[in-house]
Amino acid sequence: MNQYSVSAPEIGVPSSHPPGSQRFARSRQMVSCLKSELLYSVKRARDLMFSAVERTLSDVSAGPMIVSRLTREAVARARIEADRLPFVLASWDTTGRAVINAMLCAEVLLTPDGVQIRRDVGAHAAVVGGLRDGYRDATEASLIEFLIRRMGDVTTRDHTALAHALFRHFDDRVPMDYFEDRVAILIARLADRVALRGDQYVAT
């Protein structure tokens, strides 16, 4: 079962709407909920961290490493790639921790023996040996599951808000319909842990 337990200060996030705007009120609520557990990251940074984690784990010269070291090394690689793009982010250290926390919640980091690493008191000292297949989708699906469990009032009418919370600031050329479809696909992955009662998603 996924783990959601560590509180943390909020992460700054750029705003694309005027103060008091009601259009994004629901997605702002979701972002705040993710921030409260140090799970929020903008999509572009999340993808850069995913790629950096992959490269770090494939670097055999680095040798075995625990989660805390993996976090530092991946952040360093992601920052270099962001500078090359260029992509500006205020705090890579905080964002990096948030992405790794999300991966721990999804239990997609594996020990050298293939055991899933849970987000608990010893997680950051666990030796990482690899990644679960489909780890990117699993991680983003776990963020939706977290919101369903924590907020307790997420419905089928919230797909647009979920898309804004998880994917906005990624690429203005990509239509929002694409991200709403992605939300639907990610929710479908949760069929064994989330049920639909009326139009409300309920954790089982």
What digits encode the pLDDT tens for the residues 112-129? 999 999 999 999 999 999
Q: Which residue has the higher pLDDT, 20 or 62?
A: 62
Domain assignment present for residue 94? The answer is: yes
Domain assignment present for residue 20? The answer is: no
Distance CA 59, CA 157 (A): 43
Domain assignment present for residue 48? The answer is: yes
1-24 mean pLDDT: 45
Domain assignment present for residue 1? The answer is: no
Give pTM, 2 decimals: 0.86
Domain assignment present for residue 147? The answer is: yes
Does one domain contain both 191 and 122?
no
What are the DSSP calls for 28-67, one per residue? HHHHHHHHTTT----HHHHHHHHHHHHHHHH-GGG-SEEH
Domain extent, residue 160, equals 25-37+137-203
Does one domain contain both 151 and 125?
no
Domain assignment present for residue 96? The answer is: yes
Does one domain contain both 113 and 161?
no
pLDDT for the residue 43: 94
- pLDDT band at 64, cuts 50/70/90? confident
Does one domain contain both 158 and 177?
yes
Does one domain contain both 141 and 105?
no
Domain assignment present for residue 149? The answer is: yes
Does one domain contain both 33 and 62?
no
pLDDT at residue 3 is higher than 80? no
Q: Which of 82, 100, 132 corresponds to the end of one domain? A: 132
pLDDT for the residue 4: 42
Q: What is the CA radius of gyration of the chain?
A: 17
If one counts the domains in the chain, the total is 2
Domain assignment present for residue 150? The answer is: yes
Does one domain contain both 121 and 165?
no
Does one domain contain both 183 and 125?
no
Does one domain contain both 153 and 82?
no
